């Protein structure tokens, strides 16, 4: 199975770049699934129906996010929709609109896309991403889904390979982005 994942797509320049290059990538790699992290899609903060629509029309099927997903009011409505293709981090506290994973059928296989966020350097009160991953993987195991997880994280937990804790229990782990350090020259 071929999965194409775009990290943090930021604002109009990011949307235009993806729209321009995606046809070429689709032709070259023939992906079975195209995912994108979109939490900064609308002017660098959050998402709107319009910004998601541009990328959906280009072929992106599932949108992962992070702590900026709610920066635009429309995100609340989009996440409440029953079959929304926008995921918020699964480890948000209970009661937050939306869901953090989605099971998809691709050909004869089922695949779960799981969206998690780290807790280092955040002001938000996220649940432990590792405990949350364990719960989701157990739920998927009970439902006998073949599962692959797409993880989104920020902070020292990912830089030290934090998603290695779910290693061997999922097919794929991705991350949305990492900020360059000021000492990188």
Helix (H) or strand (E) holding 106: strand 101-106
DSSP state for residue 179 in the 8-state scheme? P
List, in order, residues 6 or more apart from 146 with CB less than 8 Å away. Answer: 109, 110, 111, 171
Coil, helix or strand at residue 116: coil
Rounded Cα distance, 148 and 111, in Å: 6
Q: Is 68 a catalytic residue?
A: yes
CB 80, CB 98: distance < 8 Å: yes
* Active-site annotation holder among 43, 68, 76, 181: 68
Q: Burial level of 46, CB count in 10 A (0-12/13-18/19+)?
A: buried
Strand 109-114, strand 101-106: pairing:
antiparallel
* Catalytic residue set: 68
């Amino acid at each position: 199975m071929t999965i194409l994942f775009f990290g943090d797509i930021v604002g109009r320049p990011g949307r235009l770049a993806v729209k321009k290059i995606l046809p070429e990538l689709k032709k070259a790699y023939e992906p079975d699934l195209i995912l994108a992290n979109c939490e900064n899609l609308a002017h660098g903060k959050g998402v709107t129906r319009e910004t998601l629509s541009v990328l959906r029309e280009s072929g992106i099927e599932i949108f992962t996010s992070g702590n900026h997903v709610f920066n635009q009011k429309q995100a609340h409505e989009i996440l409440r929709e029953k079959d929304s293709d926008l995921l918020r981090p699964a480890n948000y506290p209970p009661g937050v609109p939306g869901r953090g994973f989605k099971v998809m059928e691709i050909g004869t296989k089922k695949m779960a896309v799981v969206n998690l966020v780290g807790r280092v350097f955040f002001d938000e009160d996220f649940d432990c991403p590792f405990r949350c991953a364990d719960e989701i993987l157990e739920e998927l195991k009970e439902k006998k889904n073949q599962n692959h997880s797409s993880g989104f994280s920020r902070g020292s937990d990912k830089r030290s390979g934090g998603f290695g804790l779910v290693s061997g229990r999922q097919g794929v782990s991705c991350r949305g982005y990492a900020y360059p350090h000021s000492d990188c020259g």
